[in-house]
Chains A and B, each alone.
Chain A
Amino acid sequence: MTGQAIDSRESLSRLNDAARRLQREVRYMEVCGTHTVNAFRSGLHSLMPPNVTLLSGPGCPVCVTSQGDIDQLIELSLQSGVIMCTYGDMIRVTGQRGSLEEARALGADVRIVYSALDAVRLAAAEPRRQVIFAGVGFETTAPATAVAILEADRLALMNFTVFVSHKLIIPAMQALLKSEVNIDGFVCPGHVSVVIGSDAFRPIVEQYWLSCVITGFEGPQIAAALARLCELTLSGQAALENLYPQAVTSTGNQHAWKLIEQVFTPANVHWRGLSELPGSGLEIRGRYARFNARVRYELAAADNREPPGCRCGEVITGRCTPADCKLFGTVCTPIQPIGPCMVSSEGTCQAWFKYRPRNRAQSPTPIRSAV
């Protein structure tokens, strides 16, 4: 603990020093739900120099899941004989016709699992039921979904399918940059980088001349990344740096990648707030099509209209802050979330709701409007 305290003091003083010398406003973006939460939970936002803003990008897997995917999951859960298995945060996300939690209240069998393999075990134990696993998340959870499909294949299960909604982070970052979002660099996620490797961010640095600094999850580590980003901006450089070398290598986890490539192929998928992005998601290879819920249940293309008034799409692309949304804290709260950024414990809106004063007059730091 003392080590951490010294560490964060040093990072914060470097951050403040570089920010002072910058003499202009700079905006950095993190793209990781854990970073979103920990920047608030650690109090980092309250310690930031006034001219440095940390934005939360499309890093929370629940928040970027399209409305259409959520509606289709709900529809599937209501088919008779189906057991819908999902990671916890998904069950409260509202589609156009309610949430999985509400479907459960009406009789759907929706179960929270902590690993994709739990769903496979359930399918093996309940041969007369159809078990569907909602495969959501970035490169961090995709290997586990791949393992589950391979295991179901090994067991020759006929009652297990996966509704894949996995996303890839680099195409999302590139899409953001193409949409002229005004940022000065990325705080890159340690989690995802363990799988994809630090080299995966090199195109961002080289094509967009933006620094990418990979770091761990704790507040002091995020502070260290911000300090480094400020220093790089100050010196006019764009560089790729890895502040989390104990976990992240340049090439990533080859074993995990092989699993992803064995089972999935890149696909154009719809992101909330970013619309359809080429090659930004995963779909199950034809070889494993019998485990593909979209194939098994002949699902048509989804309607991805977003709830009226909800600005989650702008929030996750850094175009507005939660406080700019009329729904935030009024009709959209963690109790009755409208948009996914309020549902997920890693969502930007929920973090704002949870860790900031509710009354805007009590706000300790002025809310700087983004863009």
Chain B
Amino acid sequence: MTRQLDFQQTFLRNRRTHISMAHGGGGQLTDDLVQSVFLPRFGNEALNDLLDSAVVPLNGASRMAMTIDGYVVQPLKFPGGDIGRLAVSGTVNDLAVTGARPQAIALGLILAEGLDQDVLEDVMDSIAATTAEAGVQVVTGDTKVVGRNQADGMYITTAGIGTFVRKSRLHPDRIEPGDVIIVNGPIADHGLAVMLAREMPQVKSALRSDVAPLNNMIQRLLAAVPDISFMRDPTRGGIAGLCADLAARTGWHIRLDETRIPIRPETHHAAEMLGLDPLDVANEGKVVIVARASDADNVLNALRNEPLAADAQIIGQVEQPADGLCELVTKMGGRRVIHKPYGEQLPRIC
């Protein structure tokens, strides 16, 4: 009974004063934390840009890209990947989309007491294989162990640095009306594969996570089409979060065409079963590319030779008016607004 009274008293105080799962969803609530807690304390030129990697000036004219990401996915192993492949790919991709060439990775492990050593070794094998695939090295690391109930198996943090081969001009400020929006393949595979594995392990599905390092593909793309406006990987928040963000940030109108957004039938089916909009769902092997319309064919031609981009598509366009809205033209020919997901209560997916 005292517990109930406590609850009544603390309820009002609790609202807005405690961190909820939704604060980690990569949606509007995460943004609120960044804007109200982090930026006021740490704000600086590199951070304020809020890009996937910070671009840090070094001596003279040279610059370095730097990024960090934590991974708490459950289950540790899921169809198409595991937490190790995810931890390398996520960080490599965050470097690559800013035009940097990933060079080195730092690996932080938090292990729960009682974790099976075979599980640890499997994940480390996966990290070794993925870093080899991406052409980066793990150059430093750290291991901590916490009590068995203080963590869920294993958490990984990876930080990465990258260098710029050519002067990268990728930036949201370069986006203009007329630019096309391109994605390198079918969306929503990662989030739904993980959620299905986690929430409905009994369901048999062909669905697999798309988790993959994209840096080699992106470097070849930038060599072929150097004047791309902007790139970002649509991880948490999905295509919806990314495009709504870009519309708000650039102030232009973004129109997406549902008939052109690639999605596998099994992914579509899983999204329906879990009641999710695939546009809101995370990807881990996808990149959204914004390029001049005159470069659209060059981008598509460069991508379609790539194994990770055989199904690349133009999915939308940046337009006037400057209303900062993202809109979807649906398969039925109707229109609706796309908002950034607010941080739905989804299972941990990265």
Contact = CB atoms under 8 A, between A and B. Distances in A.
Contacts of B14: 98, 102, 105-106
Contacts of B29: 335
B227 interface: no
A12 B331 CA distance: 13
Contact of A114 (B199, B323, B332): B199
Contacts of A106: 3, 6-7, 10, 14
A307 interface: no
A36 interface: no
A40 B334 CA distance: 9
A219 B332 contact: yes
Interface stretch (A1-9, A258-266, A315-323): A1-9
Contacts of B11: 97-98, 102
B264 to A, nearest CB: 13
Interface stretch (A44-52, A128-136, A274-282): A44-52
A43 B335 contact: yes
A5 B323 CA distance: 29
Interface stretch (B15-23, B50-58, B186-194): B15-23
A364 interface: yes
B332 A335 contact: no
Interface residues of A, number: 47
Given A335-B28, A356-B336, A362-B323, A43 B15 contact: no
Contacts of A353: 339
B332 A97 contact: no
Contacts of A268: none
A219 B336 CA distance: 13
A121 to B, nearest CB: 11
Nearest to A356: B337
B331 A97 contact: no
Contacts of A355: 336-337
A364 B332 contact: no
A190 interface: no
A331 to B, nearest CB: 11
Q: Which of A12, A41, A91 is packed against the most chain B CB atoms within 10 Å?
A: A41
A314 interface: no
B338 to A, nearest CB: 8
Interface of B: 3-4, 6-8, 10-11, 14-16, 18, 20, 22, 28-29, 199-200, 259, 275, 277, 323, 325, 328-337, 339, 342-345
